[in-house]
Amino acid sequence: MIVCESLVRIYQTGSIEVQALQGLDLAVDRGEMIAVVGASGSGKSTLLSILAGIDAPTAGKAHVGEWDLLAMTRADRVRYRRHTVGFVRQQTASNLVPYLTAAQMVDLPMTAARTPASERRERAAELLDTLGVGACADRRPGQLSGGQQMRVAIAVALANRPQVLLADEPTGELDTATSAEVFEALRTVNREFGVTVVIVTHDPEVSGRVERTVAIRDGRTSSEVLRRTASHENGEEHVIAEEYAVMDRAGRVQIPSDYRTALELTRRVRLVLEADRVEIRSDQ
Ligand code: ADP
Ligand code: MG
């Protein structure tokens, strides 16, 4: 569903250049739900704005469904943002219109897409119900809790049945219990509507509950954690999490800084090919 290869985004402000993405690789399957984690400034929001069609990459490859994000016209971009992706922004409030009710906000993108009124009403009710905020249909943002606001924002993002839902730190401003609720809401829409979900998060609770977590460091994907459930002999289920380093198409792998420190690996290392592994040794 999503393929990014060697994706680069350079921001130019005056004479200063910031490389927000420095050759990022990412592939997400249709129907998958993944978390993207990384320190502040590592390029997570930049990646999401590019996937949302709000920002344009400087170089590299970015495909979502049948769309090539580097070769879209202005009109393509409008259609892409309206129908292919739903985006929930980082600040809860910026997703909502203060003077509209929840039902009216979900209605808005469908009106823009010229959906007939009867269908709009039905879809808005279905979405708000699925997200557990059906009873809030006639309330304005000021009359909703933080968790309810976020679930309404998700409903708005899903109004035109996008194939991909992008959420930038959707639980960042919420307490633990509320953020668990919002995560469950995302899980529900992933299951019920089959929408592919990418969640940027700092929250270990969230990243611990998806099958795959991708870590971004310095504008590149550096590692992935895969989780699967296995059963003990007594039938009890437990989660196994395994961390993998990501190798890009040119064969580059990032060695975590604590490994580099532990073995004093600096600019040059020795690579030794063994029968079943590659060793990385200090130059000394
Ligand atoms: P994250 O979401 O992981 O915190 P961002 O994608 O927001 O990271 O930012 C990555 C880097 O790009 C940071 O160094 C940030 O300062 C820079 N950056 C982001 N947006 C802009 C912009 N519009 N203009 C200039 N620099 C930007
Ligand atoms: Mg961010």
Task: Decide whether any atom of ligand 1 lies within 6 Å of the 44 Cβ.
Answer: yes
The mean-pLDDT minimum among 27-31, 66-70, 239-243 falls in 239-243
pLDDT band at 206 (very low <50, low <70, confident <90, very high): confident
Ligand 1: which of 8, 9, 18 to mutate, most ligand atoms within 8 Å of CB?
Answer: 18
* 150 CA to centre of ligand 2 in angstroms: 17
Task: Decide whether any atom of ligand 1 lies within 6 Å of the 244 Cβ.
Answer: no
Task: Decide whether any atom of ligand 1 lies within 6 Å of the 12 Cβ.
Answer: no
In this prediction, residue 235 carries a pLDDT of 81
Domains of the chain, each with CATH number or no CATH: 27-56+74-257 (3.40.50.300), 258-284 (no CATH)
In this prediction, residue 221 carries a pLDDT of 84
In this prediction, residue 207 carries a pLDDT of 82
Task: Decide whether any atom of ligand 1 lies within 6 Å of the 49 Cβ.
Answer: no
Cα distance between residue 171 and residue 34, in whole Å? 15
Q: Is the pTM of this model over 0.75?
A: yes
Reply yes or no on whether the pLDDT at 140 is more than 80. yes
Task: Decide whether any atom of ligand 1 lies within 6 Å of the 220 Cβ.
Answer: no
pLDDT band at 9 (very low <50, low <70, confident <90, very high): very high
pLDDT band at 283 (very low <50, low <70, confident <90, very high): confident
Reply yes or no on whether the pLDDT at 272 is more than 90. yes
Q: Give CA angle at 2 (219, 68), nearest 5°.
A: 95
In this prediction, residue 141 carries a pLDDT of 95
